[in-house]
Chain A
C-alpha cells in the first residue's frame, strides 16, 4: 500500500527525520495562506500516488503567495497522469547545495533488507543505477543482527566527509531503518535528502510503501488508505476478497490463480486483443464469489466480452458455472461470454452452461482466447 508524500513526511517527522516546513492544502486560497505564513518562496507539490510527478508538471516553485495561489490553481484543476489532484503540499523552498538518495527495500535475490545511498540524488535513481552503478552504495542487513552503526557510518561517509553531516545522515538512516522494520514496509525512500546552504539536512521528498501482507498488525497504517483515490471497481473487488486490477482493454477476464490469470491475459493479447482486467477468484471459490466477480467485470463499461478460464483443482467447475448462471439469468446480459472449464467436475459445469444464449464453451485455453477475440472483432 502506497501513501501520500505528506503522510510519509508525517511519519518521518515522528521519527525525527526533518522535512522542510510546510502544510497540506485543498484549495488555492489555503495555499496562499500557508505561503504567507511561511513567509518564504515555496514549492507547491501535487499529492498523488503515481511516480514521475515532477516531470509531469506536478511540482512548481512560487516566489510569492500570489504566485503560489496561481500555480496551485493550475495543479489542482487538471489531472496528473490521469489522476485527479485533490491536495497539494506547500513547503518552504530551500536553497540547496547537495542532493542525496537514501532508500531501504528488500533485495529479493539476497532475501535481505538492503540499505542504499547515492550522492546523485534528486533524479531518477533507476537511471543512476543503470548508467553509473558505481554511484550507488548498498549494504545488506543481517536478518538476525539488524542494521549496525558501522554500516550506517560507512554509507554516510560515501556521501559526505563533513563530520556534522555524517552524523546527521547516520541518524536519518537509523530512523529510516526503524520505520522500515517496525511498520513492515516494502520501500522507504528519501529522494532527495538535501544539504542546504546552511549545512542542514532535510528530506525534500518522502516515499513509503507498506507490505500489504502485514497490514493486519498495523491498523494505524491501514487508516491512511485513501479509498476515494482508488478505482471503485478495485475497491468493490477487495471487499469481495477478489484480486482484481483494472486495465485498459475490452476483454474481461475471470480466472482462478494469479499465474494462470496472467497467462490467460497474455494469450488474449497474443490473439490480437487487450485484456480489460486481471481477476483471480482464488482457490475453492464459491458460486457467490464467482457471481460477484462476473458482476464486477460487467460493471466495467469498456468490457465487450468476457473470458472465463478455470482450471479446477480445489475449485469446482460446477460451482463456478452456477455462479455464472445466477448472474446471467438475473440480468439481461447481452455480452458474449466464452467459458473454458477444465478439471474437477468440468462435465457438470459445462452442462449447466450449454443451453445458455451468448455463452460459448471452449475446451482449451487457446481455443477460448481465440474465440473471445473473434467475437469482439466480429
Chain B
C-alpha cells in the first residue's frame, strides 16, 4: 500500500506545455509515473514527451481515464484550473503553483471539498510513493521505498530529512508535501488520518514550521486518534514575530504560530521533537527497530 498515489495513479498535468510543466513531466515519466494526459487551453493536439495534450480537462479525462491531476498553471489561472479538474470529477488534485491569493484559496478549498475531491497544496512539492509513483517536483533519487510516512509543510527541508533517512536505510511509504501557504487543501490531520490506516506505514515523520495552529491540531490528533508513533520537526525557532519567512504561511502573528509553542504542544502530548533534520534519524531509530 501507500497513500494518495501509487501504480494505479493515472496522472494528468495541467499546464504541461509551460517551462515547469514540461520539465517535470519528463522527470515524472522517467520515474515511472503513468502520465496519461496534459492540458493547456489552446494547445490541444500537441504532444509533450509523447503525452497527448488536450484543450480541456473534460476531454483529457474522457479519452485517457486520468484520475489524478498535478497543477503547474501560473498563480493567476491556477484557481480556475483546480475548479476545472474538480468539475471533471478528478478526486485528487496536487497544486504545485506558488503565490495564489489567499482569498482565492478560501473559495477553492471550500468548493473542492464540497464536490468530494481532495486538494494537496498549493505551494507544495507534491506527493511521492517511492517505487510506485511521483506526482510533483521532488528529486526522486533521494527516496527509497519503505515504511515511514512523511508529511511536511516545506519542500527542501523535507528533502534534507528524507536524504538523511534513506542514507540510514529508513525507506518511505509516501511523502506528502502539504504546502507553505496560509490556506491549503489538506492539513496535517487529513494526511495523518490516511497514514494511520495505511498498512505499509509503521511510523510518521511530521515536519512543521511557524505560522497558524496546524501543528497544534495535529499534536492533539496524534495523541487521541493515532496508534502509530510520530516524530516531529518544527522549523523557525529563530523567526521574529511579524516577519514572513519566505512561505506566505510562515509568519508569527497575533501571539500565534511560534515554533516554541508548537514544540511545547508536541512535547506535552509526548511526541518526540527533533532539534535538527539529522536528529530525526535518531528519533526514528529509537521508535523503529533497525532498517526498512
Pairwise interchain contact B157-A111, C-beta atoms closer than 8 A: no
The reply on B48 being an interface residue by CB < 8 A is no
The chain B residue with its CB closest to the CB of A261 is B246
Q: How far is the CA of A243 from the CA of B250 in the complex (A)?
A: 12
| Contact with A263, one of B103, B142, B277 (Cβ below 8 angstroms) | B277
The interface stretch among B30-38, B57-65, B208-216, B283-291 is: B208-216
Given contacts A144-B107, A262-B245, contact A270 B101 (CB under 8 A): no
Pairwise interchain contact A259-B247, C-beta atoms closer than 8 A: yes
Q: How far is the CA of A308 from the CA of B101 in the complex (A)?
A: 31
Count of A interface residues, CB-CB < 8 Å: 54
The reply on B144 being an interface residue by CB < 8 A is no
| Contact with A243, one of B107, B246, B278 (Cβ below 8 angstroms) | B246
Pairwise interchain contact B101-A214, C-beta atoms closer than 8 A: yes
Q: Which residues of A contact B160 (CB under 8 A)?
A: 260, 263, 311, 342, 365
The reply on B99 being an interface residue by CB < 8 A is yes
The reply on B163 being an interface residue by CB < 8 A is yes
Given contacts A108-B214, A263-B276, A365-B276, contact A257 B101 (CB under 8 A): no
Q: Which residues of A contact B107 (CB under 8 A)?
A: 143-144
The residue among B109, B153, B156, B249 with the most chain A CB atoms within 10 A of its own CB is: B156
Pairwise interchain contact A257-B155, C-beta atoms closer than 8 A: yes
Q: Which residues of A contact B245 (CB under 8 A)?
A: 245, 258, 261-262, 278
| A116 shortest CB reach to chain B, Å | 11
Which residues of A, 15-62, contact B by the 8 Å Cβ criterion?
51
Pairwise interchain contact A108-B156, C-beta atoms closer than 8 A: no
Q: Which residues of B contact A217 (CB under 8 A)?
A: 101
Which residues of B, 118-148, contact A by the 8 Å Cβ criterion?
137-139, 142
Q: How far is the CA of A343 from the CA of B138 in the complex (A)?
A: 11
Q: How far is the CA of A96 from the CA of B91 in the complex (A)?
A: 56
Pairwise interchain contact B102-A213, C-beta atoms closer than 8 A: yes
| Contact with B276, one of A142, A186, A266, A278 (Cβ below 8 angstroms) | A266
Pairwise interchain contact B180-A258, C-beta atoms closer than 8 A: yes
The chain B residue with its CB closest to the CB of A245 is B243
Given contacts A108-B182, A213-B75, A258-B247, contact A311 B213 (CB under 8 A): no
Type the 1/0 row for B217-241, where 1 means its CB is closer than 8 Å to any CB of A: 1000000000000000101111110
Q: Which residues of B contact A283 (CB under 8 A)?
A: 137, 155
Q: How far is the CA of A190 from the CA of B203 in the complex (A)?
A: 47
The reply on B242 being an interface residue by CB < 8 A is yes
The reply on A265 being an interface residue by CB < 8 A is yes
Pairwise interchain contact B244-A212, C-beta atoms closer than 8 A: yes
Chain B residues in contact with chain A, CB under 8 A?
75-76, 99-107, 109-111, 137-139, 142, 152-160, 163, 180-183, 187, 207, 209-214, 217, 233, 235-240, 242-250, 254-255, 259, 275-278
Query: Can you list 23 residue pairs at the A/B interface with Cβ under 8 Å?
Result: A108-B213, A109-B187, A109-B212, A109-B213, A109-B217, A111-B109, A112-B106, A142-B110, A181-B103, A211-B101, A212-B244, A213-B99, A214-B102, A245-B243, A257-B154, A257-B246, A259-B153, A259-B235, A260-B156, A262-B210, A274-B238, A280-B246, A314-B137
Closest 5 CB pairs of A and B: A259-B154, A258-B246, A257-B156, A259-B157, A214-B101
Chain A residues in contact with chain B, CB under 8 A?
51, 106, 108-109, 111-113, 126, 130, 142-144, 181, 184, 186, 211-214, 216-217, 243, 245, 247, 255-263, 265-270, 274-275, 278, 280, 283, 311-314, 342-344, 364-366
Q: Beyond A259-B250, A263-B277, list 7 extra A-B contacts (CB 8 Å).
A: A144-B107, A144-B111, A213-B100, A213-B101, A262-B236, A313-B156, A365-B276
